[in-house]
Structures are given as structure tokens and as C-alpha cells.
Amino acid sequence: MDALPALKYVFYFAATPEKVWEGFVSPETNRIIFMGAELEIELRPGGPMNFVGPGPDGKPMTYVRCQILEVEAPRFLRYTFAMTPSTKRSRVTIELKPESEATRVAVTHDGWDADDAPTHAQCTDGWPRILSRLKTLIETGKTFNPH
């Protein structure tokens, strides 16, 4: 059982599972929703999935380090998650399910250590923002300006 509570979110996207899937794994889409960060991904079990952007000194820095655990395109993705500089790893599971009018997107972020409260708090705030940006981008082709 998690030392900190699992984060669970469900959104409905007016798009096919394939289009929503592409939004989660596309470097271009992630660059837009993460304000310029680059997604470096090898979409296979054991493959890395990292979010890289400019650090305080302007040099590239890995902000989020992930490793893919399971992948079944376009419906299921599970990976480990660690925010720099922490070495604590949690786990993210993304499940896409087609419904009559939309794709149901369920995100569960669990496996938290008790002493990873700062990252847990950032993700509690971050996931709804990220999912909202992605939903807007997929449905309208643009996203809101976060500034």
C-alpha cells in the first residue's frame, strides 16, 4: 500500500483513443503542453521516457525521469516517475477506453514513498493542469496560455 494516497483522475476526450494516445507519447504535443520541454521516449518496456528542458544555467536538464514498464498502444501505458533531484520513484498508469462519444482517460499515479510529499503535492496540482491542456489541445488544436 502507498505511504501517500494514490492520485486518480478521469477525463473524457472528444477524440479517438489513437489520437489521445498520440497526445501522450508525441514529442510535439508534449513540447506544447509542457511549455517547451522535450520528451525523449523509447516506447517499449524498459525504455526511457524523460522530460528535458533548460536548467537554471540554460543548459539542458532532465526534469522528470521515467522508465516504461508496460505499453499496449493505444490503450495502456505504465511507467515509473521521478522528478529531479529526487531519486524516489512512483508509478503512473494511463488507461484509454473508447466510449460511444469519447475516449475515457484514466490516470493513476501511485507507489509514493512517505517522504516524497513535495513531489506528491506538485503532481496533485500538476496532473489536472496537464490533462486539461492535453484535452484542450486534442479537441481544439490549441491550448490556453499558462502565463
Q: How confident is the model at residue 39 (pLDDT cuts 50, 70, 90)?
A: very high
Count structural domains, the chain.
1
* CATH of residue 133: 3.30.530.20
**pLDDT, tens only, 108-138:** 999 999 999 999 999 999 999 999 999 999 9
The predicted pLDDT at position 102 comes to 97
Three-state SS for 110? strand
* Residue 55 falls inside a structural domain: no
Our separate counts of H helices and E strands in the chain read: 3, 7
Three-state SS for 126? helix
The pLDDT of 43-66, averaged and rounded, is: 94
Least confident range from 8-12, 71-75, 142-146: namely 142-146
Domain that includes residue 107, residue range: 7-35+72-140
* Residue 48 falls inside a structural domain: no
* Residue 53 falls inside a structural domain: no
* Residue 107 falls inside a structural domain: yes
* Residue 2 falls inside a structural domain: no
* Residue 22 falls inside a structural domain: yes
* Residue 24 falls inside a structural domain: yes
As a whole number of Å, the CA-based R_g of the chain is: 15
The predicted pLDDT at position 136 comes to 95
Indicate the residue type of 137.
L
Task: State which H helix or E strand residue 50 sits in.
Answer: strand 48-54
Whole-prediction pTM: 0.92
* Residue 136 falls inside a structural domain: yes
- CA dihedral 95→98→102→106, nearest 10 degrees, is -10
Rounded to 5 degrees, what are φ and ψ at 97? -135, 120
Task: State which H helix or E strand residue 62 sits in.
Answer: strand 60-72
